[in-house]
Amino acid sequence: MKNRFRIALVAGTTVAMLALVGHASADLIFFDDFEGGADPAWSDGGTDVTPVGQREFLGRLHDGAVSLTLSDLPPHTELGLSFDLFVIGLWDGNESPDIWGASADGGLPFILTTFRNETPGDGDGFQAYPDFWPGGEHPARTGASENDTLGYDADAVYHLSYTIPHTAGDVVYYFFGFPDLAEEDWGLDNVSVTPEPCTAVLIGLGVVSLFSRRRW
Ligand SMILES: [Ca+2]
Ligand SMILES: [Ca+2]
Ligand SMILES: [Ca+2]
């Protein structure tokens, strides 16, 4: 009974510490809000400022890709990426299709989808997001965190987060879009990269080893 109690105590303490420390010390290794210009880690550092709110962002981009290269990453098993995607202009979703995606290290895209910016009632077309394209059929602007806040003819902001298995010391993220018309553009803002797990796992292991040592 004593041993069982001790094991339960160790497990409980470890889980609690993991939750606490893991939350507090997610070691952010990259953040760019593009205010004052883009970080040199971007392949194309051109920025623009939104007509409303004067938010500086990476773009405006049209057909093509931009990459983010990060080196000397701390030890990790997963990489978390989050960013705001600006969808600018009257994107047509599945109709064109107006495709947007992102991938890492030349692997398969972790997002490959379409966006549609028509206002509800303007036509009956769909966008694939939040699903992959082809496949999803959702109303325009589904999942957008902001609508028409940037000051363009039509715009939407999507806050996107993806975690991928990853162990290498370097990473190259690719962001690409292929809307077909000149007035359909996109941009990125508030891009962050976080390696997981962080130091929490090491601290958790330390707690376990401390308790087993006391037992002997
Ligand atoms: Ca910004
Ligand atoms: Ca269009
Ligand atoms: Ca289009």
Ligand 1: centre distance to CA 131 (Å):
26
Range of the domain at 173: 27-195
Regarding whether 115 and 14 lie in a shared domain, the answer is no
**Angle formed at CA 152 by CA 173 and CA 190, multiple of 5 degrees:** 30
Task: Report pLDDT for 21.
Answer: 44
Ligand 1: centre distance to CA 39 (Å):
12
Ligand 2: centre distance to CA 140 (Å):
12
Ligand 2: centre distance to CA 146 (Å):
19
Regarding whether 169 and 133 lie in a shared domain, the answer is yes
Q: What total number of domains does the chain contain?
A: 2
Regarding whether 32 and 77 lie in a shared domain, the answer is yes
Task: Report pLDDT for 216.
Answer: 40
Ligand 1: centre distance to CA 47 (Å):
9
Ligand 2: centre distance to CA 181 (Å):
6
Regarding whether 133 and 77 lie in a shared domain, the answer is yes
Ligand 2: centre distance to CA 16 (Å):
51
Question: Secondary structure of 49-110 in the HEC alphabet?
Answer: ECCCCCCEEEEEECCEEEEEEECCCCCCCEEEEEEEEEEECCCEHHHCCCEEEEEECCCCCC
Ligand 1: centre distance to CA 94 (Å):
29
Residues with CB under 5 A from ligand 1 (ion): 33-34, 55-56, 189
Ligand 2: centre distance to CA 143 (Å):
19
Regarding whether 161 and 64 lie in a shared domain, the answer is yes
Task: Report pLDDT for 124.
Answer: 74
Task: Report pLDDT for 183.
Answer: 87
CATH assignment at residue 110: 2.60.120.260
Ligand 3: centre distance to CA 184 (Å):
7
Regarding whether 97 and 3 lie in a shared domain, the answer is no
3-state secondary structure of 160: strand
Ligand 3: centre distance to CA 162 (Å):
26
Ligand 1: centre distance to CA 189 (Å):
5
Regarding whether 184 and 209 lie in a shared domain, the answer is no
Regarding whether 76 and 128 lie in a shared domain, the answer is yes
Q: pLDDT tens across 152-195, in order?
A: 999 999 999 999 999 999 999 999 999 988 889 999 999 999 99
Regarding whether 60 and 8 lie in a shared domain, the answer is no
Regions of the chain with pLDDT less than 70: 1-26, 119-123, 198-216
Regarding whether 189 and 91 lie in a shared domain, the answer is yes
Ligand 2: centre distance to CA 118 (Å):
8
| Rg, Å, the chain Cα set | 22
Regarding whether 142 and 76 lie in a shared domain, the answer is yes
Task: Report pLDDT for 22.
Answer: 45
Task: Report pLDDT for 46.
Answer: 97
Task: Report pLDDT for 63.
Answer: 93
Regarding whether 72 and 42 lie in a shared domain, the answer is yes
Ligand 2: centre distance to CA 179 (Å):
8
Cβ neighbours of 14 (radius 10 Å): 17
